[in-house]
Amino acid sequence: MKMIDNMERPIVQMFRAYWQELMNRKVYLLTALLFLVGSFFLSQAVVFDMAVPFFLPIWALASMRYRQHMIYVFIGGMAGSAFLGVGQAVIHLAQLLLFHSIIKIPVVKRSVPIAVAGAMIIPQLVWQLVKYGDGMLPLAIQLSIGLEALLALFMTIFMLLAFPSIERMLYGPWNPEQISAMCIVGALAATGMGGFQIGTVSVAGVFLFLAIFVAAVVGGVPFATTVGMIIALIIGVSELSFTGMMALYGMTGLLAGSLKRFGKLGVITGSVFVSLFFLLYDATLPLDTVHFSTVGAAALLLLLIPSRKLSQIRQVLLPKQEGISEKRQQWLADKLDGQLAEFQQFAHFMSTLVNDRLSPEEEVAATSQVPSICQSCFRYRKCWESEEDSIEPLIDEWETTYSATKKAARVRVEQQMKYKCLRFKGLMNELEERGANKLLMGQLQHGRKMLALQLRDMSTHIEKVMREVKEDLTTYKLAEEELANRLQSQAIEFFQIDILSEERGACRIVISVPEKKADFEAETTVGEYLLLPILEQMYEEPMYISKSTYQPFPFPHVQLTFSSAVRFSLEYDIVTTAGKGSFNGGDAYELFKIHDGLSAVLLSDGMGQDINAYHESRKVIRLMRECLGQKMDPETAIHTLHYMMALNGLDDMYATLDLALIDLQEGRLWSWKAGSMSTYIKRSDECIRLDSKTVPFGFLPSFSIEAKNEKLKSGDIVVMTTDGIFNGDVPLDIQEDVMNQTIERFKDMDCRTIADQVMMEMERVFESVEDDRTILVMKVGHIVPKWSKANKQPRIISS
């Protein structure tokens, strides 16, 4: 006899049966949910702000491999299309019907991506022809249709790579191509989410950051960097105005993977640090409350994922391998090279696309022309065709003074125009409007130039990251064998050779040699007098011993680390003084090392002779040094500083800048100038002049700068000055001759003496004492290694 308490009630039994049925169909329901949600967001994902190409590829995938889930793709895709408009939903429906019609053709059935592309083109062409009605489509519309079909073709390929049959997905190993394709598809689906938020949390951002976090935990730096770069690339392609976030996603993957050893908290800390860094580095990025809330939500989800689940994910994504052969290493290195080349090509395309948006028609429209109010005036011939009473020179002078901060010159010209023009008030209104448009056009063009340069810098940084990743996969077996043969031919004993890097200027080679054999020998004796000559001959660059350590195990020996050295030495000195009758000078200068082989020289002249001019020039120096310290390209840094100075809204706050980078490894000087004086290189009887015609920082809304470079030789004297050295009332070539003669007389003296003598001679001959004066003198010389003295052949004297 059973007790009532031990009997299962009918409602509990019914619930248990439903739950068991649900668990049996778990895979089917999750796949259905994935297709429903994925097709909803992919159908409304917009690429390049004009193309919607991703509904038909997911429909093709479902019809080829997941036929039982086609209904969910249809519901989700049509719902997503409806959010973009009824017209878009009709186009997607027509494309779907056309795809099923042409896929039955045997020739087309062999290539599903081509069928998808064809089904994309025909409905769009019919739709646009009906829309325009005249039978002629604009070229931009034709290109957009072709681009949409091309994107759909590639998306179909990615879909077929990312989603094989359900059995292979659940139980088969995932290859790198499948993982990359999944990242691309997931990122594109996330872009379709748009502004979908839950409170202050962006759902798309949570998925993106969570993917980077998981990649960092399970794969470390290489995997997290790859996932971050793929996400950054897709986000940048889908939203051109969002390209500034590309660097943030890439750096998040890099730093999060670097802190993998500290677990989940290390990965989260690294990502938060990157967001805070970009918040301080670039105020134009949308790093607001929504962004940090999104990162926090993704971090919380990462903490909630059990470690056991992460281990299972690691086994699926990155199965353990016993070893990697040399051919596999070479294959991975070549693949990284290919991915890097594609990314650089994309960055170059984006830079060209953004930088060249100003068409020739817009440039012609921006040039000066006869005001419309003058064309209808009865005094047109007198004002514009008469040489004596022409008003055109006054209008040209007014347009020249419009962008200047001092208003006195413009007011003077306006008074002269007022006496000549009967319609003065209307003419001034038209000129004001034209001047404002010209200013805005210049600022817009400069902003586009800055964006293009930032894209180029981002490509450079990504290239450096990929090169460092590739270094871990590169072997130098052949180079090590060649170096070993060279050492054996010279009868030099060694135990082991490890080549860590062969990059020019950054070589690192470790050679293990026996310990010293006599008391008079130092640990580095063999390296300095025997090994260095061989290494310098092999790599054709100077080297030095950067590290020497004694190792007692497994047997006593010395490990010598050889690194690239610089070829040239640099001596310098500076002489500066304030202008006549002033206690404060507006000149500022700084010389510092970026690294051992590269020195930067900064010389700035603020407008004026008061403390404000000095502060302005010091601000330019400080900001430029910070930019160079952050590995920013000099051209990008100069454009950024000019834009900041031009928009600061302060009167008379101009400053020149003379930037020189001296490469002591290759012996080359790179010069960038913004309103500064020429740089002079005194070489024997020759004097080389590097100059530029660019304006000071903040002087004009449009700004361009070019770099000039010159090869340096031992014994060269480089001279940089501010404009106070010269007298503006005397021809410049005469003053340059005097300066050149002075340098020639004292070229054998130290830099301080040369600077003092040039300063005094220019003051004595030309009385150039009114303005602030600064002169910087540098001497370049060769570095002679120690072994060169030991290897000299003795001179034989014949009897």
φ, ψ at 270 (rounded to 5°): -60, -40
pLDDT at position 651: 47
Handedness of CA 66, 72, 73, 74 (dihedral sign): positive
pLDDT per residue as tens digits for the range 615-645: 888 888 888 888 787 777 787 777 777 766 6
- Please give the Cα distance from 211 to 393 (Å, whole number): 64
- What's the first-to-final CA gap in the chain, in angstroms? 132
pLDDT at 692 over 50: yes
Q: Whole-angstrom Cα distance, residue 646 to residue 639?
A: 10
| DSSP states of 429-465 | HHHHHHHHHHHHHHHHHHHHHHHHHHHHHHHHHHHHH
283 vs 251, residue with greater confidence: 251
What sections of 472-590 are H helices per DSSP? 477-489, 525-526, 532-539
**Is the alpha carbon torsion for 643, 645, 649, 651 positive or negative?**
negative
Instruction: Please give the Cα distance from 61 to 479 (Å, whole number).
Output: 49
The DSSP secondary-structure symbol of 724 reads: G
Confidence class for position 179, pLDDT limits 50, 70, 90? confident
**DSSP letter (8 states) at residue 643:** H
Exposure on the CB side of residue 57, measured as CA atoms within 13 A? 31
**What is the average pLDDT value for the chain, to the nearest integer?**
75
What is the identity of the amino acid at 410? Answer: R
How do 598-606 and 655-663 pair as beta strands?
A: antiparallel
Neighbouring C-beta atoms of residue 40, cutoff 10 Å: 23
Kindly report which listed range (73-77, 173-177, 253-257, 452-456) carries the lowest average pLDDT score.
452-456
List 545's β-bridge partners, or say none: 562
Q: What's the confidence (pLDDT) of residue 442?
A: 64
Short-list 224, 151, 218, CA closest to 185: 151
Residue 283 corresponds to which tokens in the numbers above?
């105020």
Instruction: Please answer whether residues 230 and 466 qualify as being in contact, where contact means their C-beta atoms are separated by less than 8 angstroms.
Output: no
Could you tell me the CA-to-CA distances from 177 to 151, 211, 214, 330, 340 in Å, in that order? 18, 17, 18, 17, 16
Kindly report which listed range (97-101, 285-289, 680-684) carries the lowest average pLDDT score: 285-289
Instruction: At 164, list the tokens.
Output: 């094989």
Mean pLDDT, residues 537-544 taken together: 86
Does the pTM exceed 0.85? no
- 454-482 pLDDT, tens digit per residue, is 666 666 666 666 666 555 545 566 788 88
What lies within 8 Å, CB to CB, of 636 at 6+ separation is 450, 453, 454, 456, 457, 627
The neighbouring-strand residues paired with 777 are 573, 719
Q: What pLDDT, in 10s, does the model give residues 576-589?
A: 888 766 666 778 88
